[in-house]
Amino acid sequence: MAARWLLWVDGVGGYLMLPGDDWTIGGPGSNWGLGSNWGLGSSGVPASGGELGRAEEAEICVQGDLSAREACLRRLGGDYVLQPFAAALLGDRRLHRPTPLRDGDRITFASRAASSRLVAERGGAAAGSAAAGRVEMAGVRFSFAKPHPLSSSARLTLLSRHRVRPRCDAIILLADTCILGPSRTCHIVAPAAESEVVLLFSAGRWWCRGMGETNVDGEPRQGRFELVPGTRVESGGIAFTLEAV
């Protein structure tokens, strides 16, 4: 499993940063409760992939009634393509083949119970909208956003009453950069911020550039600097800490 990070932004939320261009979405593995402490290591030390059950777990793991591999999300060029392995809806449309996602799309993954019902009813005439409505009720719902025109990073926000492991407010699918700032086009919107902060992930290391006055653990920084997990960055009214999980 690829490395993951949590970005804790004061007053805004916690974000799961997932670099790469290929992610699986699924429920917890059959034995997720045995060895894992939900990725929130008490010491802040990243939970290693060697733990029991972790290897099978999807990169985007929802604590919901989903199979371990519910769907696969790929980035091709600047586009995101969702390939469902089980019942999935885009808006209120059933997905059967890989489908590109657009900014603002809503994705619903049917729970296992709902999708089995769906299969059972497929032969009948009632398989249409009524079943879709029920799936919508029971499913795990995400909204997909690709807010910044110049960055191909995207954001997945959980809409339904479920939790992502580790617990976060949204998932950043990181292509290269992640922008924090006050405007709607930022990946992480901090309404009270005065200026933007750009995070860059490259070759396993994080870089940061603050557009305003920037301090790292209280010491001023200029231009681009390496972002070390565990340090506290304050820039233009945004304060955040990156945590490796």
Partner 1 sequence: MTPIDTMEAQATSLSPSPSPEKHRGMKLEPHGMKFTYASGAKPLAGFTIKRGIGVGGFGEVYFAVSDAGKEVALKRVQRNLNVELRGVSHCLNLKHPNLISLFDVRYDEAGQAWVVMEYVAGESLRSVVDGAPGGIGEAETRRWFAGLAAGVAHLHDSGIVHRDLKPGNLFDDDGIVKIGDYGLSKFISCSRRDGHTESVGTFHYMAPEVGRGNYGREIDIYALGIILYEMLTGTVPFDGESSHEIIMKHLTANPDLSGVAEPYRSVIWQALQKNPTARQQTVQQMIRPLGIEIDEHGMARLAPGFSAPQFSAPGFSACGAAEPVFQGVAVADHGRAGGGSQASPGIHFFSGNESDADAPAGVQFGEVRYHPTAAAVLTPEEPLARSFRSGLARCRQWWGGLEAFPGTRIILLILGLCLFILNIEWLLPLMAFLAVLYVPYYIIRAMTLSVSRQPSFAEAHHVAVARQQRPRPLSAKQWRQRRRGELATKRPLVRVAELGESLTTAGFAAAALAGLAFLVGHYRGVPATSTAVAPFVWSAAIALLAAVGVLVLGKLWERTPGGGLSRRVVLLGIGAAVGAAAFVLADFLMIPLDQRLARDIDVTELPSSMYSASGVPRIAALMAHFALLLAGLRWWRSADPLRRSRFSVWAVAVAVVASWGLHQLLPVPQPWGMITAGILAAVIQIATPWENPRQRLRDSDPTHAPTV
Count the site residues for partner 1 by CB under 8 A: 28
Rounded to 5°, the CA angle 236-238-243 comes to 135
194: its two tokens: 């005065």
Write out the two tokens for 18. Answer: 């997932």
Closest residue by Cα to residue 166 from 244, 224, 228? 244
Residues 226-245 that bind partner 1 (CB under 8 A): 230, 232, 234, 237-241, 243
The whole-angstrom distance between residue 143's C-alpha and the CA centroid of its chain comes to 10
Q: Is 118 in the site for partner 1 (CB under 8 A)?
A: no
**One-letter amino acid for residue 43 of the chain:** S
| Residue 10 interacting with partner 1 (CB under 8 A) | yes
Quote the least distance from Cβ 194 to partner 1, whole Å: 8
9 binds partner 1, rule: CB under 8 A: yes
Residue from the set 3, 20, 40, 143 that interacts with partner 1 by CB under 8 A? 40
CA–CA separation, 192 vs 200, rounded Å? 22
Secondary structure element (H or E) that encloses residue 210, with its range: strand 205-210
91 or 191, CB closer to partner 1? Answer: 191
Measured from the CB of residue 157, what is the shortest distance to partner 1 in angstroms? 12
Report H helices in the chain: 32-35, 112-121, 129-138
Give the integer Cα–Cα distance in Å for 25 and 82.
10
Sole window of 33-41, 49-57, 96-104, 171-179 interacting with partner 1 (rule: CB under 8 A): 33-41
Nearer to partner 1, 10 or 136 (CB): 10
Are 210 and 233 contacting, i.e. CB atoms less than 8 angstroms apart?
yes
Residue 45 lies near partner 1 (rule: CB under 8 A): no
Q: Quick check: helix, strand or coil at residue 58?
A: coil
42 contacts partner 1 (rule: CB under 8 A) = yes
Among 14, 46, 53, 212, binds partner 1 (CB under 8 A): 14
Residues 154-183 vs partner 1: string with x where CB under 8 A?
-------x-----x-x--------------
- 11 near partner 1 (CB under 8 A): yes
Q: Which residues pair with 25 in a beta bridge?
A: 60, 71
Q: Which stretches of the chain bind partner 1, using CB under 8 A?
A: 6, 8-14, 37-38, 40, 42, 44, 161, 167, 169, 190-192, 230, 232, 234, 237-241, 243
